[in-house]
Amino acid sequence: MDDKGIFFTERVAVTTDVKTGRRTAETHEGQKGIFFTERTARTYDKESGKRTHETTNEERGLVFRERYTRTENIETGRVSETRAEKKGLFWPRRIFRSDKKK
């Protein structure tokens, strides 16, 4: 995590290539919408400055609400969903499952 800005600082997640130590991408927190805003995370390529991904937290269902994270690849238009599941009775832990194809 890095801090960007002088007067209004912003926390930015930075992705670094392990072999070269070169920074490859930055993820900024943002908002989507005017009246009913929702938090988003926008990822930008460090070299070109283009936006590559946008991630939002969403819900579906009427009675039993299911929360999931939706990530859209701006370049290809692919959408993947990630859900958190609780496993274990005595020592519960969270397991994250994604429908992303490799």
**Count: domains in the chain:** 1
Q: Poorest-confidence range of 2-6, 40-44, 63-67, 96-100? A: 2-6
Question: What pLDDT is attached to residue 2?
Answer: 65
Q: Is residue 5 part of a domain?
A: no
Please calculate the CA angle 22-24-29 and round it to the nearest 5 degrees.
130
Q: Is residue 57 part of a domain?
A: yes
Q: Look at the pTM and tell me if it is higher than 0.85.
A: no
Task: Give the full edge-to-edge strand order of the sheet including 93-98.
Answer: 2-4, 10-16, 23-32, 38-45, 51-60, 66-73, 79-87, 93-98
pLDDT in tens, 77-93: 888 888 888 888 888 88
pLDDT at 3 over 70: no
Range of the domain at 40: 29-98
pLDDT in tens, 19-68: 988 888 888 888 888 888 888 888 998 888 888 899 998 888 888 888 88
Q: Is residue 18 part of a domain?
A: no
Strand partners, 69: 57, 82
Instruction: Indicate the pLDDT class of residue 17, thresholds 50, 70 and 90.
Output: confident
pLDDT at 96 over 80: yes
Q: Is residue 70 part of a domain?
A: yes
Helix, strand, coil shares of the chain, percent, nearest 5, are 0, 60, 40
